[in-house]
């Protein structure tokens, strides 16, 4: 049975058992975030386009090339969110969340949309689990934000990654740096690829993202941001690094690390994983001290991270980490031909009321085919309704694991299943 339609390019369905793995890793992430004092926020999937234009920056790849922007029937320009930070700050300002105390520590999960060229680890709809701490410029909060994904990845059993950090300064120290870098790029322009020639004019910092070998070589002697930090930014960066040590995060300073969004100031970081190919950053983030102002609010610094969930799932698969125990169906209710459907449904509903995970046949299968289906669903028990037993108010209960079988009064069925499940738990526990 193959249909006519396919999921749009760069998007995919998340189906069982991957959907179950996703739930499990999210649950672990939420627990860690809540333990650190972060609370969930959900913002709309689309925003007024200006939120991203002003927030992320007019000259970024995201804003110039990758946004899904459309005019709605009222003539308003809307954009499917390409990331979660600008919307969270929009909500923070619109709803005066600072009045609930600062820093506001918020986390979110949801789909993001970027019209990038699809490849392994790069999709047009992907999911991020992210956190933002807004309203504090204490370097300790930067180090907390970097430590959370580190704790998360370790708790998931991941080992093969590096934490790279940099400081990209503030508006004061970045300006003279960009001037120096631009002058350098002008002198090296004959060695740069065409894209980098354009970047040199539009967004020179992004030049460090180029993967072309010739460009990397040409940039070996480029001036680097950390050498241009002003006194305050230097002190802030040194404190962040010191506190990362206190928190037990192993990091590497990477003076060429720049990020693809313009709102960053000072701290920038990424978690780079082995074996993921070109798209090897599973998490990225940093500080954004001017973002609130860019969105029309009062100055309020913030810092955050986002984990790319698809890349995280791939890293987990590669390392064989975080094995997930898939939930089992406790009981499948089968019935013999001619049995009243009402009675079957009553039994099914009563088992579910008893909080057992129960299912039944809805295809009119033969008993043999129902048993096969029960096995396919991974059921532990099958209840067979019908025949002589039913006339006596009883059913047959079969343990598919041990092949044991009992005749049980209907009123005792749930209790008997519970007992049998309990015995099994008892054995494995002790």
| Interacting residues toward ligand HAM by CB under 6 A | 83-85, 114, 116, 121-123, 126, 128, 130, 132, 260-261, 281-286, 304-306, 308, 310-311
Confirm if 332 and 367 have CB atoms less than 8 A apart: no
- Using left for φ > 0, alpha for ψ between -120 and 50, and beta otherwise, residue 364 falls in left
- Please give the sequence-ordered ranges of beta strands (E in DSSP) within 221-280, or none if there are none: 252-253, 265-273
By beta-carbon proximity to ligand HAM, the closer residue of 210 and 367 is 210
**Neighbouring residues of 75: CB distance < 8 A, sequence distance ≥ 6:** none
Confirm if 324 and 20 have CB atoms less than 8 A apart: yes
By beta-carbon proximity to ligand HAM, the closer residue of 83 and 150 is 83
Shortest reach from residue 381's CB to ligand HAM, in Å: 42
By beta-carbon proximity to ligand HAM, the closer residue of 319 and 361 is 319
State phi, psi for 43 to the nearest 5 degrees: -110, 165
What is the spatial distance between Cα 60 and Cα 66, in angstroms, rounded to a whole number? 9
By beta-carbon proximity to ligand HAM, the closer residue of 285 and 386 is 285
Long-range Cβ pairs for the range 114-119 (8 Å, 24+): 114/62, 114/66, 114/67, 114/82, 115/10, 115/65, 115/66, 115/67, 115/68, 116/10, 116/66, 118/9, 118/10, 119/278, 119/279
Shortest reach from residue 149's CB to ligand HAM, in Å: 10
The residue assigned the tokens 């978690």 is 271
By beta-carbon proximity to ligand HAM, the closer residue of 50 and 116 is 116
What is the spatial distance between Cα 28 and Cα 6, in angstroms, rounded to a whole number? 32
Which residue sits closest to ligand HAM, CB atoms considered?
308
Local structure of residue 192 (DSSP, 8 states) = S
Q: Which of 268, 239, 262 is nearest to 163 (CA)?
A: 268
By beta-carbon proximity to ligand HAM, the closer residue of 139 and 286 is 286
Q: Which of 146, 423, 136, 159 is nearest to 304 (CA)?
A: 146
Shortest reach from residue 291's CB to ligand HAM, in Å: 9
Shortest reach from residue 236's CB to ligand HAM, in Å: 16
Shortest reach from residue 190's CB to ligand HAM, in Å: 31
**Neighbouring residues of 271: CB distance < 8 A, sequence distance ≥ 6:** 149, 150, 153, 161, 162, 163, 164, 281, 282, 283, 284, 307
Shortest reach from residue 200's CB to ligand HAM, in Å: 22
Shortest reach from residue 109's CB to ligand HAM, in Å: 12
Q: In what order do the strands lie in the sheet with 69-71?
A: 46-48, 77-80, 69-71
Alpha helices in 171-230 (DSSP H): 171-188, 194-202, 213-218
Shortest reach from residue 347's CB to ligand HAM, in Å: 46
By beta-carbon proximity to ligand HAM, the closer residue of 128 and 370 is 128
**Mind giving me the DSSP string for 8-20?**
PTT-----TTHHH
Cross-strand bridge partners of residue 166: 268
By beta-carbon proximity to ligand HAM, the closer residue of 167 and 360 is 167
Shortest reach from residue 215's CB to ligand HAM, in Å: 20
Q: Which of 422, 343, 328, 350 is nearest to 384 (CA)?
A: 343
Shortest reach from residue 258's CB to ligand HAM, in Å: 11
By beta-carbon proximity to ligand HAM, the closer residue of 146 and 218 is 146
By beta-carbon proximity to ligand HAM, the closer residue of 118 and 387 is 118
């Amino acid at each position: 049975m193959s249909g006519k339609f396919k999921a749009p390019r760069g998007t995919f369905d998340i189906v069982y058992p991957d959907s179950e793995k996703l739930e499990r890793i999210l649950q672990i992430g939420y627990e860690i975030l809540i333990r650190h004092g972060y609370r969930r926020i959900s913002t709309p999937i689309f925003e007024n386009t200006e939120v991203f234009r002003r927030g992320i920056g007019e000259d970024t790849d995201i804003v110039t090339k990758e946004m899904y922007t459309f005019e709605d029937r009222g003539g308003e320009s809307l954009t499917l969110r390409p990331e979660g930070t600008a919307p969270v700050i929009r909500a923070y300002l619109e709803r005066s969340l600072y009045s609930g105390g600062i820093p506001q520590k918020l986390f979110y999960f949801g789909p993001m949309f970027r019209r990038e060229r699809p490849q392994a680890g790069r999709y047009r709809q992907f999911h991020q689990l992210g956190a933002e701490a807004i309203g504090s410029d204490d370097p300790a909060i930067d180090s907390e934000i970097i430590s959370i994904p580190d704790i998360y990845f370790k708790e998931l059993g991941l080992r093969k990654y590096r934490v790279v950090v940099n400081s990209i300064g503030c508006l004061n120290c970045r300006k003279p740096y960009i001037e120096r870098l631009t002058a350098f790029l002008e002198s090296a322009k004959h060695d740069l690829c065409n894209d980098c020639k354009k970047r040199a004019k539009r967004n020179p910092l992004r030049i460090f993202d180029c993967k072309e070998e010739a460009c990397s070589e040409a940039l070996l002697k480029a001036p680097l941001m950390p050498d241009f930090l002003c006194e305050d930014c230097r002190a802030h960066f040194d404190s962040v690094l010191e506190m990362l040590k206190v928190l037990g995060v192993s990091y590497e300073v990477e003076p060429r690390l720049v990020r693809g969004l313009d709102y960053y100031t000072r701290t920038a970081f990424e978690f780079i994983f082995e074996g993921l190919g070109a798209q090897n950053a599973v998490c990225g983030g940093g500080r954004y001290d001017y973002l609130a102002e860019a969105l029309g609010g009062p100055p309020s610094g913030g810092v955050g991270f986002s984990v790319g969930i698809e890349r995280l799932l791939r890293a987990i698969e590669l390392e064989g980490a975080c094995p997930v125990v898939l939930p089992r169906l406790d009981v499948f209710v089968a019935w013999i031909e001619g049995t009243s459907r009402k009675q079957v449904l009553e039994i099914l509903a009563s088992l579910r009321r008893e909080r057992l995970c129960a299912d039944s046949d809805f295809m009119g299968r033969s008993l043999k085919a129902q048993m096969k289906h029960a096995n396919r669903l991974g059921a532990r028990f099958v209840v067979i309704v019908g025949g002589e037993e039913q006339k006596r108010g009883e059913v047959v209960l079969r343990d598919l694991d041990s092949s044991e079988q009992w005749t049980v009064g209907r009123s005792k069925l749930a209790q008997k299943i519970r007992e049998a499940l309990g015995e099994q738990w008892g054995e494995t526990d002790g």
